[in-house]
């Protein structure tokens, strides 16, 4: 049976001052058969089928210590059951059987990121409602801000707001709806790595937007922000570091953390190694958040096959956030969500595909195609 939790980190968590999220010790999300929390200090589940997390040193430049940053206290990530993802997974689970059904039922209780990819979830108060619901449980929402102009530069996930001014207003509204509550934000997947694909004028404008977004979110002392920095096979680490420096130079508070491997299939081990190279080239340590949603079997995906490939599998995660850990892992890409009309799915980008989810848990052959 496929198991989705990663093993306990080797070091014990250091005591921290109480902050939003510190009440999550009793949360249910981190106490399942295949999950662990940061408090007990004991492994609560075994890892099999290649899902054991790597044990390489945490990526940071030698001799450097991680700086102080804005972040919530330790706590369980919040699984927002009003997200349609959980309904979709439940429906596929109910029509499955055996180990596939058990795997899907486990996924129904594991936290996944909330993508804020339009203005609707801001305008209708969805973000504020999610933050409030998580806070009432003593848990932490994980948001992905994904609405920058010229998003995905015309590819499958094209979109975003129409102007720089609209984006600045949008990110301000997102920040205000989070407020002083504990939260984790992944900022604009692919936006930094796409800078070389833009004209000089467009790239400069985007750098300014990313820098402003970092500063806007920094107003929230209990929000940990990770600027997305692509993946280990897209841009070489020196180029990624140079792109980060461009944002750093325009940001009042600088870059405190980066996310990597969002919606990709590269192993955690290789991603950690890449993160270390990026930090060495950048010249200072950074906090790192890795997307392990689809890298459970990195050898099973053909090299260069990035769009709904055969062989992708759910990876291993923690269900908790620890502000003192240099590297965290989570489900950032929504499981079962299509990359576009390509590969084994013909659903548009961002749309749920039950067959794709079954592929990810290794049970696609057990259930007839829709």
- Positive or negative, the CA dihedral 290, 143, 350, 2 is positive
Provide the pLDDT for residue 15: 35
Q: Which structure tokens are listed for 111?
A: 């936290």
Tens of pLDDT along 126-160?
999 999 999 999 999 999 999 999 887 867 676 78
Does the annotation place 115 within a ligand binding site? Answer: yes
Contact 276, 282 (CB under 8 A): no
The b/e string for 177-208 (b: 16+ C-beta within 10 A; e otherwise) is bbbebbbbbbbbbbbbbbbeebeeeebebbbb
Contact 156, 340 (CB under 8 A): yes
The token pair that represents 84 in the structure block? 């349609």
pTM to 2 decimal places:
0.85
Instruction: Check the annotation: does 170 bind a ligand.
Output: no
Q: Angle, nearest 10°, between helix axes 126-136 and 164-178?
A: 20
Residues recognised as catalytic: 190, 339
Q: Two tokens at 1?
A: 């049976």
Residue-range domains of the chain with CATH: 22-366 (3.20.20.40)
- Spans of the chain below 70 pLDDT: 1-64, 154, 156, 158, 365-370
- Compute the C-alpha angle 93/38/34, nearest 5°: 25
| Neighbouring residues of 344: CB distance < 8 A, sequence distance ≥ 6 | 308, 309, 310, 355, 356, 359
34 annotated as ligand-binding:
no
Q: Is 333 annotated as a binding residue?
A: yes
Residue 2: predicted pLDDT: 43
pLDDT number for residue 59: 52
Interatomic CA distance for residues 364 and 370, integer angstroms: 11
Task: Check the CA dihedral 310-196-289-10 and report its sign.
Answer: positive
Contact by Cβ (8 Å): 314, 301: no
């Amino acid at each position: 049976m496929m198991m989705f939790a990663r093993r306990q980190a080797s070091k014990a968590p250091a005591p921290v001052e109480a902050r939003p999220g510190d009440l999550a010790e009793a949360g249910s999300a981190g106490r399942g058969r295949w999950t662990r929390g940061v408090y007990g200090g004991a492994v609560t589940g075994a890892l099999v089928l290649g899902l054991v997390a790597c044990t390489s040193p945490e990526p940071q430049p030698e001799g450097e210590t991680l700086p102080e940053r804005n972040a919530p206290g330790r706590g369980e990530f919040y699984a927002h059951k009003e997200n349609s993802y959980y309904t979709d997974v439940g429906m596929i689970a109910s029509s499955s059987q055996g180990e596939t059904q058990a795997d899907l039922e486990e996924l129904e209780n594991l936290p996944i990121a909330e993508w804020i990819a339009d203005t609707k979830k801001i305008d209708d108060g969805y973000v504020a409602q999610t933050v409030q619901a998580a806070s009432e449980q003593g848990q932490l929402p994980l948001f992905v801000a994904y609405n920058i102009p010229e998003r995905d530069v015309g590819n499958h996930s094209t979109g975003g707001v129409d102007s720089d001014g609209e984006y600045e207003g949008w990110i301000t509204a997102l920040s205000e709806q989070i407020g002083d509550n504990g939260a984790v934000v992944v900022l604009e997947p692919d936006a930094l790595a796409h800078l070389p694909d833009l004209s000089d004028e467009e790239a400069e404008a985007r750098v300014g937007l990313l820098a402003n977004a970092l500063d806007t979110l920094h107003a929230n002392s209990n929000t940990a922000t990770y600027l997305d920095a692509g993946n280990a096979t897209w841009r070489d680490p020196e180029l990624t570091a140079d792109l980060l420096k461009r944002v750093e130079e325009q940001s009042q508070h600088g870059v405190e953390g980066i996310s990597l491997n969002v919606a990709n299939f590269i192993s955690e081990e290789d991603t950690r190694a890449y993160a270390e190279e990026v930090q060495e080239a950048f010249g200072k340590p950074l906090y790192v958040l890795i997307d392990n949603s689809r890298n459970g079997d990195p050898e099973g995906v053909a090299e260069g096959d990035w769009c709904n490939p055969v062989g992708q599998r759910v990876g291993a995660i923690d269900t908790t956030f620890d502000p003192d850990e240099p590297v965290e892992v989570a489900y950032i890409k929504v499981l079962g969500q299509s990359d576009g009309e390509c590969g084994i799915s013909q659903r548009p980008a961002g749309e749920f595909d039950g067959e794709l989810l079954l592929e990810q848990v290794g049970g696609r052959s057990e259930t007839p195609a829709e």
